[in-house]
A and B are shown apart, each in its own frame.
Chain A
Amino acid sequence: MDKFKLKVFRYDPTKDSEPYYKTYELPVEKGMTVLAALFKAKEEQDPTISFRYNCRAAICGSCAMRINGHATLACKVQITHLLDKYETDTVTVEPIGNVKTLKDLIYDMDWLVDKLKKVKPWFIPKEPPPADGTEYRQDPYDHHRIDFASDCILCASCMSDCNALKANKEYLGPMVHSKAYRFIADTRDGEKKERFEVILDDFNLEWCVRCMECTTRCPKEVQPYENIIRLRIMAAEAGYKTPGEIHAEIFEKDIYNRGLLNEMLLPMRQEGILGAIKRAPFGIKMMLKGKVNYADFFGGHKVKRIEEVQKIYELAKQKEKEVKIRLPQIMGVIYEDKRKTRKRPNYAETGGNE
């Protein structure tokens, strides 16, 4: 293919009543990034295309946009890879999602900054600096816990494709929670309680639907989703009682007592007797459809070798405190499947990072 189509989202609220798409035909050049293609279209065909950019090297986070439907940095993906990946002759660029568009590919940053401010995304030391004039020191393991989270360049790719944010704009979003994690998990930070109160207000932290879009989109391997989960672990350790914490306790009890979750008694245990009453019509509907396992109302069956499960459970609970779990580095990790396959999409060869 020597030519491709660059289909650009266009919108100027001072002139246009509706957004529209304009397509530019460009030559396919080896190594050309989406950002380079936008420059070429702007310089040679249409000087009115508006987009943000700065470093052109995936460091500054300015050029995040949706490319063929998924948020990423325009300077990080190459046209030839996209044409192969989507088996198409068209590369579509749109502003990132979940945020108001100001003009063409430029989105309203203020909204994101306002959200970010809520968690005070700066270091607030818990004690004065050491008297001997050295810096605040940290042991390597403690630093490792916040290392990846510190790499965030605030490009908002994660915010763009977040499903919880799509449903509700009051959700703080992966970028903000991940930033909160970076400071709450910092052993030198002195405002953990205040930060927890912000992210746990109305259990905001638990609105996350675990869709994994944030971690998949992040161009810097910050692991926003994993950071949200680490925050939940820390909140549980700090003694906060949340719906997620109650949910986890139910799962743990069922694994210990019977192996599998007792879905029939879950609503009652999660929300108490009032919850059970509220859910009764739903329960009756499920009964009428034959989706109810009646034995479970009386405890149900246990998996085989349950004594073995209980022994392992108890030992793991005891050992938990002494085990230092290192965060896996996910950069460049592409799962290598060893099975021979007959017809498999070629993702294993091309990888997630263009």
Chain B
Amino acid sequence: MAELKYAFYTGCSAKGVAPELYNSTKLVAEKLGMELIELEAATCCGAGAVQEKDEFLALTINARNLALAEELGLDLLTICNTCTLMLRETKFKLDNDPELKDAVNEVLKEAGLEYKGTSEVTHFLWEVIDGVGLDKLKDMVVRPLKEFNIAPFYGCHIIRPPYLIGYEDPDNPKSIEMIIEAIGGNPVDHTARLACCGFHSFWSAEDKVTLKLTAMDAQSAKEEKADFMVTPCPLCHTQLDAMQEEAEERIGVNIGMPVLHLPQMIGLAIGLKPKELGLEKHVVSTENIVQKVA
């Protein structure tokens, strides 16, 4: 069996407002036989913010992040959709534009680094399917989530734009459903499955756009009688879980839809305890889920 070893890029959220994602990823990865070597010298990916002010700076900073994974000779594994996109965008631009790559490398050289383009950028979601494999995951399930209706929420940057992501069809992705089925749950289709959580316009259009989308998304899962939503992105999670009450208030609706990080959901099925996975750290109560799996 191939060795499942990755350069682990945590991103800011897992080290900030989503400690439960960081902890559950490490626990679940270990159980699934994935070795994560944390890139402790990696910086923020710029999250699109730096990219829209200083494009070259953003490319250089991310070229450094990629070079750190190349130093280890490993593929870089993310746990955030936006990190995935920003790093893949950098890679795409540098790999397709030799002059730009040279310009970036002139800067990196001064710090003794070089971007070569030898490491892939991958996401935890994809590696559970392609690295660990669904058959192995199925074998490890000790607590099938059979009584749960689970609403997948992909988040934009793990499917779009396809010229940068291209893992699966952005119009009809299946990866999260495949994992839900492997751990015995029932994936439910809902209108906001491929929609946006609104996170990235929060500081410019909180009331006008962001919270409306957040409410629509959680509502959509509720309409299909989902027990909880699951997402591979901590930004979607912050928006849908931590900001759900705010969205309810502004829109004047009552939703109360729990949202799990992808590794938390997998963790429950392979025998980890809700407490270990940090389910109590959620803003929308996960009490119903905790009681059912107990």
Contacts and interface: CB of A to CB of B under 8 A. Distances in A.
Interface of A: 68-70, 85-86, 163-164, 166-168, 170-171, 203, 206-213, 215-216, 225, 229, 232-233, 236, 242-252, 254-255, 259-264, 270-271, 282, 285-286, 289-293, 296, 303-305, 308-309, 311-313, 315-317, 319-320, 323, 325-326, 328, 330, 333-339, 341-345, 347-348, 350, 352
Given A212-B160, A344-B168, A352-B163, A338 B209 contact: no
Contacts of A252: 50, 53-54, 57
Nearest first, the 7 closest Cβ-Cβ pairs linking A and B are A335-B166, A206-B204, A263-B16, A212-B160, A211-B196, A248-B53, A163-B196
Contact of B19 (A163, A255, A290): A290
Contacts of B103: 319, 323
B169 A347 contact: yes
A308 B52 CA distance: 23
B17 A261 contact: no
Contacts of B47: 251, 261
A268 B14 CA distance: 20
Contacts of A337: 120, 166-167
B198 A303 contact: no
B204 A243 contact: yes
B17 A291 contact: yes
A245 B51 CA distance: 11
Interface string B154-180: 001100111111111111111100100
Given A209-B156, A320-B54, A326-B99, 18 more contacts: A163-B196, A207-B208, A208-B200, A209-B213, A210-B157, A210-B201, A242-B204, A244-B52, A252-B57, A261-B44, A291-B283, A308-B113, A313-B60, A315-B107, A334-B166, A341-B130, A347-B162, A352-B170
10 contacts: A167-B210, A259-B43, A289-B282, A293-B17, A317-B57, A320-B54, A328-B97, A337-B167, A344-B129, A347-B170
B13 A263 contact: yes
Given A263-B12, A343-B129, A308 B41 contact: yes
A206 B201 contact: yes
A347 B54 contact: no
A348 B165 CA distance: 11
Given A206-B204, A255-B50, A312-B61, A211 B55 contact: no
Nearest to B160: A212
A345 B174 contact: yes
Nearest to B199: A209
Contact of A311 (B55, B106, B111, B195): B111
Interface residues of B, number: 90
A312 B172 CA distance: 40
Contact of B198 (A68, A167, A229, A270): A167
B291 interface: no
Nearest to B75: A339
B205 A168 contact: yes
Given A206-B201, A260-B16, A282-B246, A236 B43 contact: no
A260 B12 contact: yes
A14 to B, nearest CB: 29
B242 to A, nearest CB: 7
Nearest to B57: A316
Interface string B1-23: 00000000000110111111000
A315 B110 contact: yes
B289 interface: no
Given A163-B195, A255-B61, A291-B18, A330 B163 contact: yes
A9 to B, nearest CB: 16
A178 B20 CA distance: 39
A207 B204 contact: yes
B96 interface: yes
A325 B110 CA distance: 21
B16 A285 contact: no
Contacts of B167: 335, 337, 344-345, 347
A21 B168 CA distance: 30
Contacts of A245: 53
A323 B198 contact: no
Interface in B81-97: 88, 92-93, 96-97
Contact of A168 (B18, B120, B208): B208
B212 interface: yes
A115 B66 CA distance: 42
Contact of A244 (B49, B93, B162, B198): B49
Interface string B193-230: 00110111101110011101100100000000000000
A344 B113 CA distance: 34
Given A208-B201, A209-B213, A317-B57, A304 B246 contact: no
B52 A326 contact: no
Contact of B55 (A225, A233, A259): A233
Nearest to B162: A352
A255 B53 CA distance: 14
Nearest to A205: B204
B175 A345 contact: yes
B52 A236 contact: yes
B243 to A, nearest CB: 8
